[in-house]
Amino acid sequence: MLSQEEIRKKFLETENMEEFYNWLLKNFNELPLDLQSLLFEFHLDQALTQEIQRLEFQYRFLKALYDYLREMNQTFENLKTK
């Protein structure tokens, strides 16, 4: 398991934070539990937030589409019987 000193040292040594982040991911199973948990929490929250937004939009979209189709079918039915 990586120690706090090793992680802090790597953080200070690495200029590019993307590189440091990739190093964290590469060593995920060697990270202390709370750092694993922080990474997991962040990514889970991000994925859930994005997918909820996407599905809420999809829901509104499909609902409108469905209501539209249903109403049109009804309109034509009414026209036929005129």
Partner 1 sequence: MAIERLVPEKERTRLREYGNFSFAELIRNKAFAGLIIQALWTEQGPPGKENQEIVARNKRIVETIQLIQEGKEAQFKPEDIEYIATQLTPKINEALEMAYQNVAKENSVFRPESFEWLAKLNPNFAEFLISTGLVKKEGERLVLSVDQKQAQELLIPIFAEMYIRAPERFNELRGKMETLRKLDQTIQQIERRLTEQISGALRLEEAQRQILGEIVRKSLDKKLRELATNQQNAVDDTFISSLLGEIFQGIEQDTRLPKASPGLLGRRETVSGWLKGHLGFLVGEPLAKIREKIGKGGIEEIIKGMGIENLKNFENEIRDLQNTIKSVCEDLKNIFTHEGGKFFSLLLVKGAKEGIEAMKTQVGSFVDELKDLRQFENNWNEAKGNKRNEILNNKANEIRKKGTRIMALASWLLGDELYRQLFYTIYPPKQK
Supply the DSSP symbol for 82. -
- Regarding 64 and contact with partner 1 (CB under 8 A), the answer is yes
| # residues contacting partner 1 (CB under 8 A) | 59
- Regarding 55 and contact with partner 1 (CB under 8 A), the answer is yes
The interface mask with partner 1, positions 14-43, x = CB under 8 A, is ---xx-xx---xx-xx--xxxxxxxxxxxx
CA–CA gap between residue 82 and residue 72 (Å, rounded)? 15
Q: Which residues contact 39 (CB under 8 A, 6 or more apart)?
A: 24, 25, 28, 31
- Regarding 6 and contact with partner 1 (CB under 8 A), the answer is no
Residue with tokens 């034509």: 76
Residues lying near partner 1 in the complex (CB under 8 A) are found at 1, 3-4, 7-8, 11, 17-18, 20-21, 25-26, 28-29, 32-73, 75-76, 79
